[in-house]
C-alpha cells in the first residue's frame, strides 16, 4: 500500500511530492488492521479507574469517548451524517441520564479535570463544546496547543520541559487563552442531592 503526499503553496501550486509505503501484511507483526479508521487510544500509565471509582460514571465516560469527533477530543453527535459539538441535551441522551443528573456528572468530571467545557462565540451563534482529557482518551497522535491549554495542569507531570515550553509558545502564537476557553462547573442546584450522590460513590 502506497500513500502519496503533495505539499502545495498558497496559490495551490505543488512544491513537493512524496510517497510512503505501508506493508499491509508483515510476517512477524501480522495484518495492518483498520489502517484508515479513526481511533481513540488509552495510555496504560494513566488508568481512568484510578480517578473514577463509580462504575456508572466510568462507563459513561467510555460512552462519551466513543463519540469523539475525529482527532479533536471533542464530544460530538451526528445529525444526517454531519457532526456537531454535543451540548448538554446531547450528552444526556448519549449516557441515558436526565439533564439534571447529566449536569451533576459533568460538574464532577470537570472538577477532576477529566472533561473541560468551552463556550465558542462565532458570528452566527454561541456554541458549547465538551472535551475529554487526552491523558485518558486520545484521538490523535499529536497533542494540539488548543487541547494542551485546556488540560495543561493535569498534563504538566507527563510532559518534558521542552514540550511544555513549545506548546505554551504555540498557544501564545495562536492567541489561545485558557481563561477564555475553560468554563468552571456550574453550582449544584440541589446540594443535598449532590451530597447523597457523593456518599453513594
Handedness of CA 176, 178, 179, 183 (dihedral sign): positive
Q: Evaluate if residue 96 carries a pLDDT over 90.
A: yes
Sorting pLDDT into bands at 50, 70 and 90, what band is 20? low
Q: Evaluate if residue 94 carries a pLDDT over 70.
A: yes
Find where cell 451530597 sits.
195
pLDDT digits (tens, 9 = 90+) for 127-186: 899 999 999 999 998 999 999 999 999 999 999 999 999 999 999 888 887 666 777 776
Give the total residue count for the chain. Answer: 201
Task: Compute the distance between CA of residue 65 and CA of residue 40 in angstroms, rounded to an integer.
Answer: 7
Task: Compute the distance between CA of residue 112 and CA of residue 116 in angstroms, rounded to an integer.
Answer: 10
Residue 15 domain-assigned? Answer: no
Residue 26 domain-assigned? Answer: no
Residue 77 domain-assigned? Answer: yes
Closest C-alpha among 200, 197, 53, 72 to residue 132: 72
Q: Say which DSSP state 19 is in.
A: E
Sorting pLDDT into bands at 50, 70 and 90, what band is 11? low
Mean pLDDT of the region 87-98? 96
pTM of the model: 0.77
Q: Evaluate if residue 1 carries a pLDDT over 60.
A: no
Residue 4 domain-assigned? Answer: no
Write out the residue range of the structural domain in which residue 42 sits: 37-200
Residue 10 domain-assigned? Answer: no
- Total tally of structural domains belonging to the chain: 1
Percent of the chain with pLDDT over 70: 80
Amino acid at each position: 500500500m502506497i500513500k502519496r503526499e503533495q505539499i502545495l503553496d498558497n496559490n495551490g501550486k505543488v512544491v513537493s511530492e512524496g510517497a510512503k509505503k505501508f506493508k499491509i501484511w508483515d510476517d512477524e507483526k501480522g495484518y495492518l488492521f483498520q489502517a484508515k479508521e479513526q481511533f481513540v487510544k488509552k495510555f496504560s500509565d494513566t488508568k481512568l479507574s484510578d480517578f473514577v471509582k463509580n462504575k456508572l460514571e466510568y462507563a459513561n465516560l467510555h460512552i462519551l469517548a466513543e463519540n469523539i469527533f475525529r482527532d479533536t477530543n471533542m464530544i460530538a453527535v451526528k445529525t444526517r451524517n454531519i457532526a456537531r459539538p454535543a451540548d448538554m441535551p446531547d450528552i444526556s441522551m448519549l449516557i441515558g441520564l436526565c439533564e439534571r443528573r447529566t449536569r451533576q456528572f459533568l460538574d464532577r468530571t470537570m472538577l477532576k479535570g477529566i472533561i473541560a467545557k468551552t463556550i465558542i462565540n462565532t458570528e452566527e451563534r454561541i456554541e458549547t463544546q465538551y472535551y475529554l482529557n487526552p491523558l485518558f482518551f486520545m484521538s490523535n497522535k499529536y497533542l494540539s496547543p488548543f487541547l494542551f491549554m485546556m488540560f495543561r495542569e493535569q498534563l504538566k507531570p507527563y510532559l518534558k520541559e521542552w514540550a511544555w515550553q513549545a506548546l505554551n509558545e504555540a498557544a501564545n502564537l495562536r492567541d489561545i487563552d485558557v481563561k477564555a476557553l475553560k468554563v468552571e462547573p456550574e453550582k449544584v442546584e440541589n446540594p443535598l442531592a449532590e451530597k447523597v450522590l457523593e456518599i453513594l460513590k
